[in-house]
A and B are shown apart, each in its own frame.
Chain A
Amino acid sequence: MRPEQGLDRLLEHVGNDLRPVRPLHLGRRCFPALTALGLAFFGVLWWGFGLRPDHEALGPLALWGLSGLEVGAALLLVGLALREAFPGRSPSIAMLSAAAAIAMALHCLSSWITAGKSTVPIPAGQELDAMVFCLGLELCLGVPIALLAMSFIRRGLVTFPWRVGLLGGFGAGLAGNSLWHLICPYSGLAHTLSSHTAGILAVTGIALLVALLWDRARLRSWRTTS
């Protein structure tokens, strides 16, 4: 095909849809939406459960400060996921791995500090119930956050959806955990490192699955011009 023929065909396609578009500023839309959703979730949790019973023993730093740190790490991960929506701006695998490692380390640190300041054990025989309950709450908080973030990222052009699923899911799981940290009555290290971490990883897994399913669907509809 001669270049001019190619251009003519393109102009034919393009000419049918030349409406003006605004540059996509994902951060300006996604972060406020996520914040609003997070605050709404917190409102519901506070109304339903109230702050954790040992909030006075923890003090504001261990309570709000640690949550704030986890929220910051969560936003960092979601921010990296947002970059995947813009061609030519993919963060490197090394950067993604470092961010994920730092975020997980923060979560472990938060659990350790909380357990150190106020260990509230789970009543005997209720460990499994507590685990299931916390895991379920983390999923209820994290999955909607992940889906909301991914709905924004989809507006861009994503080359590696699995990265979006991993980063967005991990960030959302961490955000959900930061909310649940304010409410969960149990602060035992074994509980938080198992149940809450499992919740974060479960949200990550679900987000990754959603991303892969989306990728498969768009691959099926992929066509090249002939």
Chain B
Amino acid sequence: MHRTMTSLQMLWPHHRSGWCHAKLALELDSWSWETSIAFMEKADPRPALGALMEAYQKGEITAFEELYRSLGPALRRYLVSLTLSTQQAEDLLQETFLQIHRSRHTYVPPRPLQPWIFGIARHVFLMDRRSRTRRLRNEVEPGDELPDLPAPNRFDAFPHRDQLRRAIATLPPDRREPLLLHHVWGFSFKEVGSILGIREGAAKVRAHRAIAHLRAALGGGNAS
């Protein structure tokens, strides 16, 4: 089992103690490779984040700062995956934390914090999209401006990293979200379903279809 330390220092929801592994396997025509993503957790982050949130609910501003530093990068990348625009994601990140502030009373300890936070981010994204009254287009920015979509760190050595990121960007939103929420941010499919308002089984199916889409998109490329 390959283990790769992520450089993002993100805190991940976990469902068992110790290392949390997310395995993303793609089989291409003539070769197959597996990527395991292991994330080091700061010794069970849920109580730490939950405690921070409770402190924030009690009015501690330092707790809010700590939450921003802990969860901001992950939320930013999640919003990038939704908006496909780093600028828009940055705007929505600010609005997300403002909404977190306004809705801090809706967090009920000791429930997991991350589904709640990501649920708010998704709410902000949907409200923004509706208010702009435009359809979400799966536009891929030109190569130089490709948004920094989440992709496993191991792909740094992969010669077709841009190709993979471009393929992820072209996924339909309803498939891209479950794929990234589960395989990159480590939410269980049950949690993915709660965030997106779909069944656990539907979340699995959509993620599986996303992988099939990626396989088709990458399998026809130059694998050398």
Question: Interface of A with B (CB < 8 Å)?
Answer: 1, 3, 6-7, 9-11, 13-15, 17-25, 85-95, 155-157, 159-160, 163, 219, 222, 224-226
Chain B residues whose C-beta falls within 8 Å of the C-beta of A219 in the assembled complex: 127, 130-131
Residue from B72, B116, B126 within 8 A of A159 (CB atoms): B126
Q: What would 11 A/B residue contacts be, using CB atoms closer than 8 Å?
A: A1-B90, A14-B61, A14-B98, A23-B105, A23-B107, A87-B115, A87-B116, A92-B202, A159-B119, A159-B123, A224-B124
Give the shortest distance, in Å, between B77 (CB) and chain A (any CB): 13
A20 pairs with B94, CB closer than 8 A? no
Chain A residues whose C-beta falls within 8 Å of the C-beta of B68 in the assembled complex: 7, 10
B122 at the interface (CB under 8 A from A): yes
A89 pairs with B194, CB closer than 8 A? yes
Chain B residues whose C-beta falls within 8 Å of the C-beta of A19 in the assembled complex: 59
Query: How many residues from B make CB contacts under 8 Å with A?
Result: 51
- Chain B CB count within 10 A is highest, among A15, A25, A94, A157, for A157
B115 pairs with A89, CB closer than 8 A? yes
A24 pairs with B61, CB closer than 8 A? no
B141 at the interface (CB under 8 A from A): no
A88-B118, A157-B120 are known contacts. Are A11 and B64 too (CB-CB below 8 A)? yes
How far is A18 from B56 in the complex, measured between Cα atoms in Å? 8
- Chain B CB count within 10 A is highest, among A6, A160, A219, for A6
Chain B residues whose C-beta falls within 8 Å of the C-beta of A155 in the assembled complex: 105
Main secondary structure of the interface of B (DSSP, over half): helix
* Interchain pairs with CB closer than 8 A, number: 130
B57 at the interface (CB under 8 A from A): yes
Chain B residues whose C-beta falls within 8 Å of the C-beta of A160 in the assembled complex: 197
Contact with A along B53-95 (1 / 0, CB 8 A): 0000111010011001100100000000000000000111111
Chain B residues whose C-beta falls within 8 Å of the C-beta of A88 in the assembled complex: 115-120, 191, 194-195
Question: Interface of B with A (CB < 8 Å)?
Answer: 57-59, 61, 64-65, 68-69, 72, 90-95, 97-99, 101-109, 115-120, 122-124, 126-128, 130-131, 191, 193-200, 202
Give the shortest distance, in Å, between B118 (CB) and chain A (any CB): 6
B119 pairs with A87, CB closer than 8 A? yes
A14-B101, A86-B106, A159-B197 are known contacts. Are A226 and B91 too (CB-CB below 8 A)? yes
Chain B residues whose C-beta falls within 8 Å of the C-beta of A224 in the assembled complex: 91-92, 94-95, 124, 128, 131
Give the shortest distance, in Å, between A116 (CB) and chain B (any CB): 37
How far is A94 from B196 in the complex, measured between Cα atoms in Å? 13
A6-B90, A225-B91 are known contacts. Are A13 and B116 too (CB-CB below 8 A)? no
B98 pairs with A225, CB closer than 8 A? yes
In the A-B complex, the 3 residue pairs with the closest CB atoms: A88-B119, A87-B119, A88-B115
Chain B residues whose C-beta falls within 8 Å of the C-beta of A21 in the assembled complex: 57, 104-105
